[in-house]
Structure 1
């Protein structure tokens, strides 16, 4: 493949679908010690929608997110961001796609301790040699409630404030989709609710697409839909979730696994 930019390699994303997998399979190891982490998973993440991925430990939910976000390789099937097939990209192009079209929020905040909150927020753009859209930056900073903390370094911020910086960093480049892997796992319930509220607001007010992996029914209750994995397969889906409904569904999965 040539060294053309992604913009010339691929058309604009398909309207309605921010990312999708088709028959996605991932196997760790080989022979008798091999473990099937994903078994022909096909799923679409719609634009402007908040999706939560849930399932028991070892169900493949984090592996699905990592493969869909271009952070991990896969054995077969396909992954698309818009209409860009990740399997057709070389390492440089994949790095560029992750930088320009995908936002990431993880359980560990992954902030640079020597940089201010503002410098951490704009770091992806700085690395890419781009200047932030000041109007968009101001809107994002206001939404996550950091206007008065931009000159503070991470060590001067609470855990919830640090994760707000991470949310703003993910939003600042206006990515096609944001992936979060247990983004509130290191936060207390109040700070976690604030961060989830900001993600919810980013979908409602900014038209963002958000996909998070979580084990928490309360976190899943912020989503527009929840998809459930078990043994590497997509086994169920719930629209308009509430924490109680999600918890009941997870209990049903647990009971089924004990009797199988």
Structure 2
């Protein structure tokens, strides 16, 4: 487990909705092989908030994140980034939206091995044909503690440092929302705590919105809110979570699955 976070700081009231789903469903297969991964999930992610998505294995948490982020299609319902309906966009428009308005952090880092840390951080802007804002770049680099590592390639960095590069890359285009899929899953507890601290600071200091899928109750305790899925449905949520409260809730899920 990741090291426990400090007590949360107070936040101003949220000003809007960064992303939302309404009656979102995702079905794989048909007939005897039909699997309902998401079953009419409606949820909003407020601007300037850190939300963790949790639930038993196979509950649909990664599917929810992928559909909400425009990485995967959905069977019915709607998903929005701000006021933009993802279902109304073609592939080119989706690609542009993901590039310009969404940041992604994955468990496997997904860095380009031949590029330096700086080149990996600025890669989304390079692809878009844009130059980084130097003041913003310096701020992001400072936040993630990478000032002394910008000339290093991924193979010369530790796992924690590589994930810091991934966090900086997710922030560089000033996205309206950042999605993380088990972003600390490949890290030890110390490196994981650092990355989670950077994500929390990006919310508190930079006003970003973060949505993270995790299985770790301690990681979830860095969030402002935890939402719980079970069998593809949204079943509970917790505000100002602690690791112990989240763990108790997950134990309840396990007990229910053993008796069902």
TM-score (structure 1 length as normaliser): 0.94
Which residue in the other structure is 2:259 paired with? 259
Which residue in the other structure is 1:84 paired with? 84
Q: Shift of the alpha carbon at 1:254?
A: 1.0
Cα distance in 2 for residues equivalent to 1:118 and 1:197: 21
SS in 2 for 1:197: helix
Cα distance in 2 for residues equivalent to 1:130 and 1:181: 27
Cα distance in 1 for residues equivalent to 2:173 and 2:15: 19
The gaps in structure 2 that reach 5 residues or longer are: 1-13
Q: Shift of the alpha carbon at 1:76?
A: 0.2
SS in 2 for 1:173: coil
Cα distance in 2 for residues equivalent to 1:97 and 1:15: 21
Matched, 1:49 2:75: no
Which residue in the other structure is 2:60 paired with? 60
SS in 2 for 1:113: coil
SS in 1 for 2:18: strand
SS in 2 for 1:186: coil
The gaps in structure 1 that reach 5 residues or longer are: 1-13
Which residue in the other structure is 2:115 paired with? 115
SS in 2 for 1:109: coil
After TM superposition, the structure 1 = structure 2 runs for residues 68-79 of structure 1, keeping only pairs within 5 Å, are: 68-79=68-79
Which residue in the other structure is 1:243 paired with? 243
Deviations 1:139-161 (A, max 9, x none): 00000000011001111100000
Which residue in the other structure is 1:6 paired with? none
Which residue in the other structure is 2:9 paired with? none
Give runs of ≥4 in structure 1 deviating > 2 Å: none
Q: Which moved more, 1:101-110 or 1:248-257?
A: 248-257
Matched residues, number: 247
Q: Shift of the alpha carbon at 1:225?
A: 0.3
Q: Shift of the alpha carbon at 1:15?
A: 4.9
Cα distance in 1 for residues equivalent to 2:254 and 2:149: 43
SS in 2 for 1:194: helix
SS in 1 for 2:149: coil
Cα distance in 1 for residues equivalent to 2:19 and 2:63: 15
Which residue in the other structure is 1:102 paired with? 102
Matched, 1:191 2:187: no
Identify which of structures 1 and 2 has the higher relative contact order when contacts are C-alpha pairs closer than 8 Å and 6+ apart.
2
After TM superposition, the structure 1 = structure 2 runs for residues 167-186 of structure 1, keeping only pairs within 5 Å, are: 167-186=167-186
Q: Shift of the alpha carbon at 1:28?
A: 0.7
SS in 2 for 1:66: helix
SS in 1 for 2:205: helix
Which residue in the other structure is 2:150 paired with? 150
Deviations 1:50-97 (A, max 9, x none): 000000000000000000000000000000000000000011000000
